[in-house]
Structure 1
Amino acid sequence: MTIGKNLEQAIKQAHERLNNLLQRAEYTKKHYKDISQRELFTEAIAEISISLEELQVLGEELQQQNDELVATRHLVEAERQRYQDLFDFAPDAYFVTDTNGTIQEANHAAAQLLNVRQSYFIRKPLLVFVHPAHRPKFRELLTELQQETKICSHQTQIFHQDGKIDFPAEVTASKVEGDGKPVSLRWLLRDITERQQTQQKIREQAALIDITTDAIIVRDLQNQILFWNKGAENLYGWQTEDVTGYEEIFSQDSLEIEAALKTVVESGSWQGELRRYTRKGKELIVATRWTLMRDNADLPKSILSVDTDITEKKQLELQVLRAQRLESLGTLASGISHDLNNIFTPIMTVAQLLPMKLKNLDERSLEMLDLLESSAKHGADLVQQILSFARGSEGKRSTMQPSYLLEDIAQIIKGTFPKSINLNIDIAPDLLTVVGDASQLHQVFINLCLNARDAMPNGGDLSISAVNLCIDALCAKMNKKAKVSSYVLITITDTGVGISPKIIDRIFDPFFTTKDIGKGTGLGLSIAIGIINSHGGFLDVSSEVGLGSQFQVYLTSSDRTIIQPVDEMELLTGEGQLILVVDDEAAITQITKTTLEIHNYRVLTAEDGIEALALYNQYKQEIRVVLMDIMMPSMAGATAIRTLQRMNPQVQIIAMSGLVSAESLAQARGAGIQGFLLKPFSAKDLLNILQGVLVMD
């Protein structure tokens, strides 16, 4: 603008100079005749030269200014084009509207987003591209934008072409002012479909993390807890706010944890089993998998661990292992019971025969023989109990008076327990009877008393009581193991060391024991509770560390009366019948032969089935009964029996065995055997069954 004004001023001055020259020329012509035309012309040329020089300078300045204007115009055009390119090719949709929301400009991304031409938007309200359900909220946005300079992160729903275009969008809007008044509005629309899907996926994953039963924990390398999911809350009992930011809260082997941390840092992962404790002190076994997490620079950042509670699984595995051990115990017991019963049979029979052979025995000797017989019977009963426990058989049941058992146990305690243990007995005089196996129940009470003794190494009080008890419906509801019935309650109480609450639920597990190696098998209480359950009863235990324990045995009472056996004054005798006794145990054949001969029988003996067949073939016309052991070498008893039956279908056979079961009895009856004699047997058992077979003959 300055150069233009200067140019106008120079032209004006040139005109003024020319006018002055013309005026001077006229004036000179009139008044000064002596001045020549040449002088005037020279002066005019000089004035014109000055003006032309000035005009040239100004022309050059004007040209320079024009060049600058052209350059500036090019720069403005380039900036405008750059803005237009940014506007058109931006990844998000841009709109420029007037203050009422009518579209004035729309970029290429907006056209692509709504699948229309850019010109389609012009002079259309932006509101028509908003979902009808969101339009009231969008109108509020327009009103709000009149008051605010900029609005960010408003979400709406874009809708066009009858629903073909329908997606969530994030809106950012700003107001452009001129002279202090709004002149236009600028809008940015961003399709957030993918973002919402990602957020939904994250929410779903977070929900899965929370509903999983596994404990998911994230810790930093200093072992501080950063993340703790709902599964961890449910498994361990601590809430998220209780543990976040704290170091390891589990009580566990620090050496094992250090080894695991070293492994996960070196190799990136570790898995194994850990023993942990909940907030309430409950012990858990968890299978845990640790993974090393890294940051963007691939540096170790944290450790992700996933813990699965396998406590129940481990318990099941332990139960399977125990079942296998019990099966092994049953196999072992089955293998040795026959041999043990073969040992007990001569002892019992000799104890019965000696008083008959030696008439002048004193009372002390007779008591010793009674003790010998009783001990042999108890030994045989113990073998049978182990078999019953291993195989689940019930044993021999009869109506019995528990007070007799308890009195017998009291005598054993007085004779064998340390004198530092005071025994208190309190048995109700009107105690009802129960139906059960006397030998098995005897073992239950003995085991409980032995445990009480071991719990009082420095002495104490041992109390045994028995009362009648009626459990009604209310009491039965309070104890799931009870039923509405009459019971005999036997209580055994000690003042010993007591049982820790942590192990009281495990004391009935087979092979579980707190005693030192060699001082306990862990089978006593398992056998006891198995016997009580098989009798339809139940057992309760209560204990307090340092004060002692109490075991309460509930046995269903019976209204049956006990039929007292009538002692037989004399054993049944034979009439000279010939009996073939077959057994591989020389002691049994010898004592059986002696017993039978004392009672007027003739006897042949054989050591195995082959010898028995030879003797029977020789004396089959005279042999009345064959007494044969089932388990023998060379030829099994069952094979020898079938061979004898082919030789003589009417042969009378009594089978003997120290290993009996319901299955073996059924097989014996199905094989046509007339009697079954269980070892160890007494002389009376032998003579009674023999007499019964001879009577049927």
Structure 2
Amino acid sequence: MFKRLEVKIIVSLALILTAMIAVYGRWTGSRQQTIYVQALTDNLRVLAHSLADNAAGFIVIKEYAGLEAHMMNAAQMPDVVTIQVIEPTGNLLCNVVRPSRDTSPRLVYDSRTVTVPTSPKPVLKRSGDQLVCWAPITAGTHLGWVRMALSLETADQLQQATWHSSLQIGALWIVVGTLLMFVVVRRPLRAVRELSLFAQDLQDRKGAQVSVRRGVYEIDLLADALNHSSTELRDAEQRLMAEQERLTVTLQSIGDGVIATDTDNRIVLLNHVAEVLTGWSEAEALWQPLDEVLKLNGNKEVSEVMAELHHVIEARQALELHGQHRLQARSGAERTVTVNSAPIINSSGELAGMVLVIHDVTEKAKMEAEKQGLAQQLIQSQKMEAVGQLAGGVAHDFNNMLGVIIGHAELGMLTAEPTSQMHDRLKEILDAAKRSAEITKQLLAFSRQQHAEPKVLDLNETIARMLKMLHRLIGEDIDLSWSPGFDLWKVKLDPSQLDQVMANLCVNARDAIAGVGTIQIFTENVTLDLHAHPCMADLAPGDYVMLVVADNGRGMTREVMDRIFEPFYTTKELGRGTGLGLATVFGIVKQNCGSIEVVSEPDQGATFRVYLPAVHEAAQEAKPEGVRPEGGTERILLVEDEAAILAIGSTILTGLGYTVYPAASPEQAIDIAADPGKVIDLLLTDIIMPGMNGRDLSEQLLRSRPGLKCLFMSGYTSDVIAQRGKVEEYMCFLQKPFTMQTLAAKVREALASS
């Protein structure tokens, strides 16, 4: 029945009348409600400001009881829900509550504070079913707020009453109108019933030829036209579906993301790649603003990027966004992309929107970044290698000469009167030689060629013993704060290298502080995983001990931070730095399989974090150096191809009480050891010598003298010793140049070894 045209017309008319009456009733009710609410708003504004003026007087004289009584009296008015008097800080001075029109107002102080507006200006707004007014209390200054709320219940009741009246009148009109329409349209619609059945069949079967009863000229023409349209509609629909399928397959097959928008920058299409890049499905993104889905971050602000894209629509010109951008997906994941855009022009030449092609270059950008990083590392490595080759080339001869100078200066000081001018001059020579040896050691340290004797250390104990020395280095104006980490793991490190690291970091911090300042030193256990900071990417996952040296000095710029570990680079004035300090720290840390990072901003100080691999072994006790060299009566075979070193070594050892058999070559040493009448307790030999190295010499002598102790010495770099000397970590080693104290201590250590 409901499919018949006359029924549809009658029902439609009834519905139209119903809708019109409903709309009219709703409009009338809303209009009356609006007028009532407006009047209520005006009254509320006047009442609230009046109460604020009255409250000012009570607050000024601090008559809070009178204030409460005045507000209770005001709350008797119809529609009042709450009246609050609030201080600027949000503290409640008065809180009158009236739950309904039938109840009396009462004072309630369940909560003593409320949130107040930030600006001392009047505020009037609707909050749910209430009108709320914030009126500032002023008396020369801002004293607080009067918050007054009126109920809108009466306005709602007025609207409902108007609505019901309109419905009752409308129902009568609907009945009358329906009856009239039924009488008028019933007979004319009988003639087109068959045509309606035909149209219904045509809708269900496109392309069908439906015959209708002929005889009426207009109906015949309409039937023929509908038959023809049915065929055309079927063919057009098939062509459209095929074209749409081709377009869909093409868009989904493109390796780039494609987003199409309308002229208002609302999305109308996303292909699959764009869905993956943005994290939005096409159904979710449809009709969303472009900047809501396409989150681009780069050197420009998001608003600037969107303005450039909008220019594509305004200028009808294609645009390629300059450079690469970070595209943030809905999940927070970021990809590096390039974006091209072009206007969409339809067949009529009208602008239909814009299309964007998003090319994912994340892997390419990552490879480029890695390439640049490797290039920087290569340049730094080449610098290190060049300086290392220079240092290593002169280290042996230079250390030998320094050894001779140090030895003779110390021997001369032993014979000279301590108060004599000669003693002072010898002391200056000794100090200069030691400083030269330190510079050589630094050159070898940052090029990672320094010979090291790593020991298992407790950083807390070792640094604690260094504090007195560090205090002398930094001076009295700078406060040194030491915070040892709890239950700190051990590290394996040459103690002398730790001395160099701490001294250089503290001196660098001292020089960064102008006048009074603070240097903080602390240690901590850390465990690094695969997701550690990018600066720590060269460290294997595992346990590390972190040593931190921080200062509150002048800090560094990014340009300075990029170069601080370069050898000979310094920002200090002439004469205050060689540029080797931090390069030495870097080399020592890298030599010990660690890493170092620096965090700094101009005028914000600097923080150096050193990460050293943790070892879970017991720490080796430090052996304090004696005040005077300790000698003995043992017999020592001294082998050295440098005549000056051989002479000074023999003199020092003889002066310490030892019997010395000097040998200028390995062959001469073998001849001396072949004499069964000579007792030899220790072989003290240079490692790198013509014809035979010290390790091979010791192995040959041990075959005939199994109990012979060995002490190796060298001025060569660690890499040369490793290639030609074959000295293992457990062997006793003495680095040239050495002092009398160092030589005496090493000899005693070698003689005491098992």
> TM-score, normalization: structure 1?
0.48
Larger RCO, structures 1/2 (Cα 8 Å, 6+ apart) = 2
Structure (1 or 2) with the larger CA radius of gyration? 1
Normalising by structure 2, report the TM-score: 0.45
